[in-house]
Chains A and B, each alone.
Chain A
Amino acid sequence: MAANLRVLRRRIRSTKNIAQITKAMEMVAASRISKAQARVEASRPYSDEFTHVLRTAAKAGASDHPLLTPREEPKRAAIVVVTSDRGLCGGYNANVLRETERLIRQLSEDGKEATLYVIGGKGTAYFRFRNREMSGQFTGFSEVPDYANAAHAADHLTAAFLAGGDSEVSVEWDDDEHADSGADRKVMFRAPQDAEGKPGVDEIHVVFTQFRSMLTQTAIALQVAPLDLGSDEEESDDSGSSSRSGDSDGSDREAEYAFEPEPEVLFDSLLPKYVRARVFAAMLDAAASESAARQRAMKAATDNANDLVDNLVRESNQARQAQITQEISEIVGGSDALAQ
């Protein structure tokens, strides 16, 4: 009986320790959510204005740019999977990976082969364990991603996208031609060295967890390239039918723009930045979702641990009471025996 009591007390102690740790993690995650949300908000002006620039340039005659036209026979598609580096965040990674598998199936039904670019330790572990080939792995920043991380991953994608589904990425770069010819040289896209030989792609998709609210985060798949400016058509139709005297915003957007350099050239330099911005936005959203998922998972863990402690305390009190009762009855029994 005494041994049982000791075991119970030890379990209470260790469960309390676990509760303390999960409580701390819950609080860290909670403080990260608001920071991550603020970053999502702060990055919005850039992406809004960037989209405006893209649309305007597209309308002005760059609409046959590879970024905007679906390829004739798409063979391969890149999927960027945004997962977390650490676990302890409930179904967060499982949801992303399930959505990824669904997208891979859907693409292969359409006759497209998927190549994977995986962000986050959990995702890379998942695919490595299953011996699935990955074209790119990027880890170590899932909770607080910065733009450089996104740019690095995105440049791999841009290189693959520019190469196209029939060929491989080649990083050859004629240094003589682009040698230091003064600061006014146009900076062209330069593929990262380690992208050499990676399969090219015709489409880019991103799977990440969208932060809808503190309670809802959904894993979604988005096509990044080729870019569909479909909603733009409606917009221009509207302002077309309502003639020029329409609302000031509409007429402002319809104004004739001048471009430096030409729209076609401008688009070449917009493309890598566009992919970077999209990957970065996905990573920021995912980081906020990850923290929210972790906060919820850790809150559940803390609650469970506290419930467990309550039950164990009750059990140990029972055991202690039983022990005392037994001791008393032993003493009473002993003195009775002596009295006779």
Chain B
Amino acid sequence: MAEMQVDVVGVEKKIWSGEASFVSARTVEGAIGILPGHEPLIAQLREAGVVRVDPTDGESFHVAAFGGFLSVTAESVTVLAELAELASEIDVAQAKDDLREAEHYIGESDDQEWRVARDRARARLQAAGESVEQ
């Protein structure tokens, strides 16, 4: 099976690196799926979104990526994010609390910060495999 080099890079450290057969993500313009041999692409990911990676060996996994970009060549995919968290590292209970709190405050004061917090919490939950209503 064809494969490509995938790196998930956060500002502070490299989150994951390895061979993969498929990557999917959501850019600002829509969902995108990348197989090996994709045309070179640079895309801006949603401010808070989920990236799915199917490694050639092992289970597919999700990453919550915030403020990210995607850089694709025929042989490699790099996900650049200001903050990236592997699904296994996400504290689901904490994210649920954050989501509840953010939604509570959005009703009260219409502040941008709470929207960002809500979107982040949603992305974390989605990455961790929890169902979230949009």
B7 contacts which of A45, A180, A256, A259 (Cβ < 8 Å)?
A45
Cβ of A321 under 8 Å from chain B = no
Other A-B pairs beyond A255-B74, A277-B11, 18, CB < 8 Å: A42-B12, A45-B7, A46-B12, A49-B9, A49-B78, A53-B42, A56-B42, A57-B42, A175-B110, A180-B115, A184-B30, A257-B40, A258-B39, A258-B40, A259-B42, A261-B28, A261-B44, A269-B44
Cβ of A92 under 8 Å from chain B = no
Q: How far is the CA of A98 from the CA of B87 in the complex (A)?
A: 47
Which residues of chain B come closer than 8 Å to A50, judged between CB atoms? Answer: 69, 80
Which residues of chain B come closer than 8 Å to A86, judged between CB atoms? Answer: none
Cβ of A11 under 8 Å from chain B = no
Q: A39-B12, A53-B80, A183-B119 are in contact. Are A252 and B73 (CB under 8 A)?
A: yes
Rounded to whole Å, the gap between the CB of A145 and the closest CB of chain B is 10
Q: How far is the CA of A280 from the CA of B10 in the complex (A)?
A: 13
Cβ of B82 under 8 Å from chain A = yes
Cβ of A9 under 8 Å from chain B = no
A255–B82 contact, CB under 8 A? Answer: no
Q: Which of B1-56 contact A (CB under 8 A)?
A: 7, 9-14, 27-30, 32, 39-44, 46-48
A-B contact pairs, 27 of them (CB 8 A): A42-B12, A45-B9, A46-B12, A49-B7, A49-B9, A50-B69, A53-B42, A53-B80, A56-B71, A180-B106, A180-B115, A182-B134, A183-B119, A184-B28, A187-B47, A257-B41, A258-B42, A260-B29, A260-B32, A261-B29, A261-B44, A266-B44, A269-B44, A270-B69, A273-B67, A276-B82, A277-B11
Q: Tell me the B residues contacting A by CB distance below 8 Å.
A: 7, 9-14, 27-30, 32, 39-44, 46-48, 67, 69, 71, 73-75, 78, 80, 82-83, 106, 110, 112, 115, 119, 122, 134
Which residues of chain A come closer than 8 Å to B122, judged between CB atoms? Answer: 183
Cβ of A212 under 8 Å from chain B = no
B41–A259 contact, CB under 8 A? Answer: yes
Q: Which of A286-312 contact B (CB under 8 A)?
A: none
Rounded to whole Å, the gap between the CB of B29 and the closest CB of chain A is 5
Which residues of chain A come closer than 8 Å to B78, judged between CB atoms? Answer: 49
